[in-house]
A and B are shown apart, each in its own frame.
Chain A
Amino acid sequence: MMDEDTSNSVRRMSTRTRRVAPKMVAALASNDNRTQAVLARLEALENDNPGLETVQVNDDSDASLDDDDEQVFQKKQSKSTKRKTRQAKALENAKKAPRTFHELLHEANLESLPRHVPTYLRAAVGPPSSVARRHFCTVCGFSSNYTCVRCGTRFCSTRCQNIHNDTRCLKFVA
């Protein structure tokens, strides 16, 4: 039988060496990192292009200008008449680059407002009243009774455990 993951730290680990970088082992053992992984996963749910590794930010600013060549030409002309320092250019670029939601939220500094003012942060529902959480097998989706001792994800049977070990164990990024 598998133990609950709370007893995980007390458990004696086998001496078998695992093919995981030592840093990673230390990171995975702490409960905190598991929550970090969960948060990263939730963050990924809001991502538009999860399949892609890199998102090129300045990619389409050129493409959108292709629409009307005249405008581009005019802009180029006006740019050439003014001389800009490198610093000014950098500042302008920084202004232009789209910022993430978290940056904007941080910038709005909503924490500084008095308590009675309803804001984005205070409108969040907050934690559920019942702590009981249903667990579903990450492999097949049915209710799961067991937890992986290494990474804390859930599975329901030996079959699913094997699939989990082969594919997803310790790979927090899906």
Chain B
Amino acid sequence: MTVIVLDNGGGQIKAGIGGDRDPLTIIPNCTARPISSKKPLIGPSLLSPLTDLTSATLRRPIDRGYLINPDLQSTIWAHLFSTLHVTPSLSSLLLTEPLFNLPSAQRSFDELVFEEFGFRRLYVANAAELVHLYEASRKPYGVVSKRECSLVVDCGFSFTHCVPVFQNFVVNYGVKRMDLGGKALSNYLKELISYRSVNVMDESFLVDHVKEKLCFVSLDVQRDLIVARKRGYDNIFKCTYVLPDGVTYTKGFVKDPAEADRYLTLYDGATGRHTEEMETDQQEHEEKHENKNKIDLTKNEFSLTNERFLVPEMIFRPADLGMNQAGLAECIVRAVNSCHPYLQPVLYESIILTGGSTLFPRFAERLERELRPLVPDNYQVKISTQEDPILGVWRGGSLLASSPDFETMCVTKAEYEELGSFRCRKRFFH
């Protein structure tokens, strides 16, 4: 019997067959209705380069990480299962749910799974345990698997969780949450661009792309702000993004990828490369730059400078945004401190970063710099990143689904029909 592994995130659904290495599809967990049509688009059609998603109206079944619109979720799932060519009535489902899921959302998920789609079995997992499982299996002799505990930092689309995991179970009193994720960052960037250059308030997909391509985490904000103030070529943060015009380009793109990567020289290139080489480079660039400096009227574009690092900066200091919440480093410290003292040194040694928002360049480096002063001297701090932070949870789920005793852990349809949602949930300890 096939097991469908469904990582039902707030931003993207990762779906595939248990036992595989990669999911079959990754689709946005939303519907988008372009202004030109009445019917909303679902699934892979949102990702194809031909669809014009300018000013599309988005609807998401998940808000702040929790299911609020089961009908919409059911529409998206129905579409998903038909494209995957699976028959729910013949398969089991491994579903991920957020931590501390609300009882009403749990009930709606159960109704969807058993009543609407008629799956045979259901197993509900949470992201942190799956990530822990995957990392433990990848390095059988590493700290994570030997001590059987880790601190999973999941910085996703809806929120950020710091989750201590001990012996494959979440230490639920130690979990700490920041209400800041990829969606808020995108919206913040959207606000900044709309105020300073072009109105992109309706272009969620476009701004997501800008964020993924151009944003990075600064290691020294004060210094970088000074650099960002410079004019002309000296300003290595300045980067131009070209908006789609609907005729030649349907998707926006970074005007000059080399220009986008120039900020890297500030950290590692400046000392390593020969100065002569740099100078000739600079001359060449200046020539090129002059050509570029002429405003191309045929293109609609905007450039970013300090926004590139001030946006991801909010994960580390949400207070700057007016949020009354501690930053990521402090969040980790609080999560660890609420665990048993014996666990604390081990947790600091096995921090695992996962989730799409950790993909900003230098995220881990900055986190270590922030965390180190907050942790007692005699403890080691070790932050490891996953090879693919977006798929980490799904791969853990795939691993769990292929384990021999997976079926015994599930709730069957008959059990659900007899006991109801609430009693069945007791089995998953949440």
Interface residues of A (CB under 8 A from B): 38, 41-42, 44-52, 55, 60-61, 63-64, 66, 96, 98-101, 104-105, 107-108, 116, 118-120, 123-129, 133-136, 138-143, 167-168, 174
Cβ of B176 to closest chain A Cβ, rounded Å: 5
* Residue among B66, B176, B178, B331 making CB contact with A104, cutoff 8 Å: B66
Whether B64 and A101, one on each chain, are in contact in the complex, defined by CB atoms closer than 8 angstroms, is: yes
Find chain B residues with CB under 8 A from A61 CB. 71
* Residue among A47, A104, A118 making CB contact with B187, cutoff 8 Å: A47
Complex CA gap A129/B59 in Å reads 37
Q: A60-B72, A64-B71, A118-B100 given. 12 additional CB < 8 A pairs?
A: A41-B322, A45-B187, A55-B57, A98-B69, A98-B72, A101-B64, A123-B177, A128-B318, A128-B324, A141-B307, A168-B195, A174-B191
Whether A60 and B31, one on each chain, are in contact in the complex, defined by CB atoms closer than 8 angstroms, is: yes
Whether A108 and B104, one on each chain, are in contact in the complex, defined by CB atoms closer than 8 angstroms, is: yes
Complex CA gap A63/B297 in Å reads 40
| Chain A, Cβ-Cβ closest to B192 | A141
Find chain B residues with CB under 8 A from A174 CB. 191, 194-195
Whether B184 and A45, one on each chain, are in contact in the complex, defined by CB atoms closer than 8 angstroms, is: yes
Cβ of A66 to closest chain B Cβ, rounded Å: 7
B310 within 8 Å of A (CB atoms): yes
Complex CA gap A25/B58 in Å reads 36
Cβ of A136 to closest chain B Cβ, rounded Å: 7
Most B C-beta atoms less than 10 A away, residue of A60, A96, A133: A60
Counting chain B residues whose Cβ lies within 8 A of the other chain, the interface size class is: 35 or more
* Residue among B161, B194, B322 making CB contact with A42, cutoff 8 Å: B322
B264 within 8 Å of A (CB atoms): no
Cβ of B151 to closest chain A Cβ, rounded Å: 14
Given A66-B39, A98-B71, A134-B320, are A125 and B326 also a contact pair (CB < 8 Å)?
yes
Find chain A residues with CB under 8 A from B55 CB. 51
Find chain A residues with CB under 8 A from B330 CB. 125, 128-129
Whether B225 and A63, one on each chain, are in contact in the complex, defined by CB atoms closer than 8 angstroms, is: no
Whether A134 and B40, one on each chain, are in contact in the complex, defined by CB atoms closer than 8 angstroms, is: no
| Chain A, Cβ-Cβ closest to B63 | A101
Q: Contact string, B62-82, partner A, CB cutoff 8 A, digits 1/0?
A: 011010110110010000000
Whether B187 and A51, one on each chain, are in contact in the complex, defined by CB atoms closer than 8 angstroms, is: no
Given A100-B68, A125-B325, are A120 and B100 also a contact pair (CB < 8 Å)?
yes
Find chain A residues with CB under 8 A from B321 CB. 42, 45
Whether A49 and B57, one on each chain, are in contact in the complex, defined by CB atoms closer than 8 angstroms, is: yes
Whether A48 and B204, one on each chain, are in contact in the complex, defined by CB atoms closer than 8 angstroms, is: yes
Cβ of B188 to closest chain A Cβ, rounded Å: 6
Q: Interface of chain A, helix or strand or loop or mixed? A: loop
Complex CA gap A55/B201 in Å reads 15
Find chain A residues with CB under 8 A from B39 CB. 63, 66
Given A46-B184, A50-B187, are A133 and B59 also a contact pair (CB < 8 Å)?
no
Given A52-B202, A136-B310, are A125 and B176 also a contact pair (CB < 8 Å)?
yes
Cβ of B172 to closest chain A Cβ, rounded Å: 5
B105 within 8 Å of A (CB atoms): yes
Most B C-beta atoms less than 10 A away, residue of A55, A107, A125, A139: A125
| Chain B, Cβ-Cβ closest to A124 | B177
30 contacts between A and B (CB under 8 A): A42-B322, A42-B323, A47-B187, A48-B30, A50-B187, A50-B191, A51-B55, A51-B199, A51-B202, A63-B38, A63-B40, A64-B71, A66-B39, A98-B69, A98-B72, A100-B63, A101-B66, A123-B175, A123-B176, A125-B178, A126-B334, A128-B317, A128-B319, A129-B326, A133-B317, A134-B320, A142-B306, A167-B195, A168-B195, A174-B194
Whether B66 and A125, one on each chain, are in contact in the complex, defined by CB atoms closer than 8 angstroms, is: no
| Chain A, Cβ-Cβ closest to B225 | A142
Given A98-B71, A104-B104, are A46 and B325 also a contact pair (CB < 8 Å)?
no
Find chain A residues with CB under 8 A from B322 CB. 38, 41-42
Most B C-beta atoms less than 10 A away, residue of A45, A47, A127, A141: A45
B33 within 8 Å of A (CB atoms): yes
Find chain B residues with CB under 8 A from A98 CB. 68-69, 71-72
Whether A118 and B325, one on each chain, are in contact in the complex, defined by CB atoms closer than 8 angstroms, is: no
Closest 6 CB pairs of A and B: A51-B201, A51-B202, A98-B69, A128-B326, A38-B322, A45-B184
* Residue among B179, B194, B310 making CB contact with A124, cutoff 8 Å: B179
Whether B188 and A45, one on each chain, are in contact in the complex, defined by CB atoms closer than 8 angstroms, is: yes
Most A C-beta atoms less than 10 A away, residue of B63, B172, B221, B229: B63
Complex CA gap A123/B225 in Å reads 34
Given A46-B183, A128-B327, A143-B225, are A108 and B64 also a contact pair (CB < 8 Å)?
no
Whether A60 and B59, one on each chain, are in contact in the complex, defined by CB atoms closer than 8 angstroms, is: yes
Q: Contact string, B9-39, partner A, CB cutoff 8 A, digits 1/0?
A: 0000000000000000000001101000011
Complex CA gap A139/B58 in Å reads 28
Cβ of A61 to closest chain B Cβ, rounded Å: 7
B112 within 8 Å of A (CB atoms): no
